[in-house]
Structures are given as C-alpha cells and as structure tokens.
Amino acid sequence: MSDELSPEALVLTERDPSGYAVLTLNRPQAMNALSRGLMTALSDALDALAADPAVRVIILTGAGRAFCAGLDLKEIGAGDGSLGTRSAERPRDPVQALMRFDGPIIGAINGAAVTGGFELALACDVLLASPQARFADTHARIGVAPGWGLSQKLSRVIGPYRAREYSFTGNWISAEQAAAWGLVNRVVPADALLPQARALAADMLGTLPHMLRHYKAIIEDGYALAYGEGLLLERQRAKAFNSEIEASAIEQRREAVRERNRSQ
C-alpha cells in the first residue's frame, strides 16, 4: 500500500495496489467538520483519484468518533467559512467531486453524519455503518438551506413522510433504523467496518472494469428519470455499449487473422 498519512493532512489518502483507495476525513478534534480547508482537500483528493486509472473504487470514512459533523459552524460564525462574506472565493464542492468519480464509492460511516456530512454519505453508492453511526438533517435548526442534494435524495431513499419528519425536526436516525429503512446497506461491528469495506471493494474489483463504470452511470442517470424513461435509457445505452463490445471483438479477431498471416 502507498499512503499519504501525514497527521497534519486534512484528508488521508491510502492507495491499495489492488485498485481501491481509502479517503479519511482527518479533523477528529472537530468531528471532521467541513472547514474550507477540508472541503478543498477532499475535493482535490477525489479529483486526483478520478484522474488515476489505477483507482477504480473509493472508500470514504472519518477519523475519530464521527464521520462528519457538517459545515464548520465556528468558521462560518467567524465570517471565514463557506457562508461568510470575508472571502469572495467559494470553497470547493466535495459532493460534486464525489459525483465526478465514475467508479463505486463506499461510505464507511463510523460515527455521526450530520447535515453536510449526511449529504456526503448520501453521495456514496453503498453505505456500511458501525453501531455508532447516526444521521441527522439539522438544516432547519441552524438556518442553512440544503444545497448538496439531501432534500431530494433522503425522501427517495426512506420515503417522503419519514424524510419530512427528520428534516423538519433535526432528530437522529440510528444506525439500526437506517438499516431497517434501507438508508444503509448493513450495520457491522465497529472493528469490522473498514475490513468489510475493503472486502466489498475487492468484490467490486473482481468485476470487469468497464462494466463498473457503465453500471454506475446507468443506475445513477436512470434513477433521476421516470421509470419508463429509465427503461428506454437502459435499452439505448445497452445497444450502444454492446455494439462497441461487438466491434471490438470483431477487430480483435481480424487482428488475430492478420498476425497469423504475417507469421506464415
């Protein structure tokens, strides 16, 4: 494994030679709250991995007892955060950076995922949770409007009535309740969280590389459409995808014939 594990780094990056990387939010003293620096570091780390063809799966987790406590309210209160007015430069958007990675992203939710941290979790493709994991949407409590997808994604995952209850109150969703509602894939012991995430990444890497990218894209793009439109999109992309495979296979056969003729 090759690591970038300086304790001062806001995001720790570990690349495994098998083809996955582990990104760890590293502000444990602040429950991994999203400061401008952390948002930029996470976005940069994700874009670097997206540009690396050797990395096909990402695991996202947090250091310490929290996954991510959301925006850094102390920084915002001081006027230096993403909602402050002292800086004309907006911070990098980590959710958009997550969306730019075309392979699967596994969220290993080790603790509290609150508001912006909840949105980071919802931007992952698969969620594993420790018993200490819990989720809360506190936008209505702190007076910040959601902008990273929570208002739309949560209702589609757990249903609009449940989503309204938790978004209108800011109450916690436990790991067990999240699993019962399909918000997380499963709850695993805390000491097994990363090992199981790594094992799941290995399972994904056992599939064909081009299929991982294709399948993620068709699920993501189709989910945003009405059911009938999604089926049509699937057929259209299958036709184009399979035609490319057939054309490639034909060209490989032709090249084999040409090579055989050259050797005679």
Same domain, yes or no: 65 and 121: yes
Backbone angle region of 79, left / alpha / beta, with phi > 0 → left and psi within -120 to 50 → alpha: left
**CATH number assigned to the domain comprising residue 6:** 3.90.226.10
Domain count, the chain: 2
Q: Is the pLDDT of residue 81 over 60?
A: no
pLDDT digits (tens, 9 = 90+) for 5-29: 444 699 999 999 999 999 999 999 9
Three-point CA angle 214, 217, 219, nearest 5°: 105
pLDDT digits (tens, 9 = 90+) for 212-253: 999 999 999 999 999 999 999 999 999 999 888 777 666 666
Residue after which a domain boundary falls, among 205, 226, 247: 205
pLDDT digits (tens, 9 = 90+) for 108-126: 999 999 999 999 999 999 9
The residues, ordered by sequence, that sit 6+ positions from 216 with a Cβ below 8 Å of its Cβ are 102, 103, 104, 125
Q: How does residue 75 score in pLDDT terms, banded at 50, 70 and 90?
A: confident
Instruction: State residue 29's pLDDT score.
Output: 96
Instruction: State residue 244's pLDDT score.
Output: 81
Q: How does residue 256 score in pLDDT terms, banded at 50, 70 and 90?
A: low
Residue after which a domain boundary falls, among 161, 176, 205: 205
Same domain, yes or no: 219 and 259: yes
Instruction: State residue 90's pLDDT score.
Output: 62
The rounded percent of the chain whose pLDDT value lies above 70 is 85
User: Residue 233 half-sphere exposure, CB side, CA atoms within 13 Å?
Assistant: 16
Q: Is the pLDDT of residue 87 over 60?
A: no
- Return d(Cα 136, Cα 121) in angstroms, integer: 11
Pairing of strands 173-174, 134-136: antiparallel
